[in-house]
Structure 1
């Protein structure tokens, strides 16, 4: 940590900063220049509260040298992490496409969706039994009944399932039914109690980026899960809030290479929630893979016009099959496969 003192700092103010830093178990090195005095805090700077130092008289700025997240940081774990999902690797050379509807509706719908997922060549299936909705009057999902419907459909094709957990009280139901991947949605990215609980289990977790979250905030949320002992974490970029109204969210493609530099965790993209329109999904999907994404969450409904939620952004089974062929060509161009 580098502490920059003001231009007219006194010796007493310098000593007060040194004392505060040393109380946290670090040592200090004072460098006096012609215009500024700089104090270097040597040791584990995570033990020092930046705000407490900034509040001291004479302090102009405090700059962290070490990132606040550790377990998920690339500097502590250089090799890419590959998350095993029921024998299917996410990360590494193969890009995984997770297909399926936004929400679980009926057994017939989920059976047809599972068939479409398999026919397209996807190895994992998505579907929401619990649905976070902006309006309290919108369809909220079928809950535990939806988990059973989803499991019945996916098990027929031996498809691992991905579904969203909204409340820690439902975690036992997820574990009892053998949910393969727990998704933490955008609105819960900083629900720290929920993150701590999924950190105590060893089920893979997809952590979606918050609507306005910075990459550092996102990685700190991942650190909450990792600190609990669960290192099977997959980051999902799904678009951030912007001023633009032409599409649902702004897909931050830049986040993919930045994350690849900052963390060893696999990174996937949800082009469906980013674009909000089915016609945008193929283009965003190709851009994501070209930028280095390890996988995609793609919404596919047997009959999109009849979908109970997010009908505009769902592909039909034939469209998903065509997209898979196009993605294979993009993946091959960047040295990967689908």
Structure 2
């Protein structure tokens, strides 16, 4: 349940709610907004009477949250949340563009990519160092060396980085060298890893698993929030259906649906959703139109020679056209090239 305190409440009133929660075997999560203090009651509160909290003088309203996720629910946060990555903000009515190659291949390629993307105004560069590949014969990434090359290129051009953690063994390296830690589709319900990532102190980009429902995605986010980290960016990246003409199927309806249920920023990945570079621009237009907070897209200097995901990577000229089309669609929304 969610306990909303009266205007003017402070630490003394919060302590009263915490004391009652403790007596009932429950814990609290405090959210201090501009006008209201909201206390999330955490634990099995099915048999707890709402009246117990309503009896406190400092309580204005008690809302029972019926959804299995609470901390990332719309009921718990009245306003949309945004995630701060240094001086870059994701959410809050802006449209973020994260871009870069599927994998860091060598120094010259990632330097060339960073130089171009920086010139285009992009503030966050993506690039894989540890690659979870379906086939053991596919390029597996450069590992820590790839992380170092990505960090070096980003620092040279004043950019932030996002890269995927593939397991607990790679978490220390990724969290120490990347600004945003990405949990990929294959690990979307690896709860042991998710709990470790929650405590690493970095913003988390959580991708939807290709067989996950919206509720399952939000429950994975709940693990991160429960671990004390609310800097969560959700990502719709396509789900597996019976369609074979695309790599996955972009669930465009999931974006406004999640917006209704959760205040967390949500972006989409048209590259993995389609697996086809000729669909990335039209899908990106749709993603912007339904109210997403941004996109994560794959860009490579020479996609035809890319070591991974060549068919779904834009070249520089195609990415330039993508940015022009997105800018032409922006009306009252602010386009922030992150």
Query: Who is 1:255 aligned against?
Result: 254
* Matching of residue 106 in structure 1 with residue 100 in structure 2: no
Q: Is the 8 A contact 1:300 1:317 kept in 2?
A: yes
1:283–1:218 CA distance, 2 compared to 1 (3 A): same
1:122–1:44 CA distance, 2 compared to 1 (3 A): closer
Highest Rg: 1 or 2? Answer: 1
Once the two structures are TM-superposed, the CA of residue 233 in structure 1 deviates from its matched residue by: 0.3
* Matching of residue 308 in structure 1 with residue 307 in structure 2: yes
Residues 1-338 of structure 1 aligned to structure 2 (within 5 Å): 46-47=44-45, 66-177=66-177, 179-332=178-331, 335-338=333-336
Once the two structures are TM-superposed, the CA of residue 236 in structure 1 deviates from its matched residue by: 0.2
Number of residue pairs matched by the alignment: 284
Once the two structures are TM-superposed, the CA of residue 45 in structure 1 deviates from its matched residue by: 8.5
TM-score of the pair, normalised by structure 2: 0.80
Task: List runs of 5+ in structure 2 lacking aligned partners.
Answer: 2-23, 26-40, 48-63
Task: List runs of 5+ in structure 1 lacking aligned partners.
Answer: 2-23, 26-42, 50-63
Q: Is the 8 A contact 1:126 1:161 kept in 2?
A: yes
Distance in 2 between residues matched to 1:337 and 1:160, nearest whole Å: 17
Once the two structures are TM-superposed, the CA of residue 149 in structure 1 deviates from its matched residue by: 1.0
Q: Is the 8 A contact 1:129 1:144 kept in 2?
A: yes
1:259–1:137 CA distance, 2 compared to 1 (3 A): same
Q: Is the 8 A contact 2:90 2:265 kept in 1?
A: yes
Q: Is the 8 A contact 2:175 2:200 kept in 1?
A: no
Distance in 2 between residues matched to 1:279 and 1:44, nearest whole Å: 46
Query: Who is 1:11 aligned against?
Result: none
| SS of alignment partner, residue 75 of structure 2 | helix
Q: Is the 8 A contact 1:202 1:232 kept in 2?
A: no
Distance in 1 between residues matched to 2:70 and 2:182, nearest whole Å: 22
Q: Is the 8 A contact 1:129 1:164 kept in 2?
A: yes
User: RMSD of the alignment, in Å?
Assistant: 2.1
Distance in 2 between residues matched to 1:304 and 1:248, nearest whole Å: 17
TM-score of the pair, normalised by structure 1: 0.80
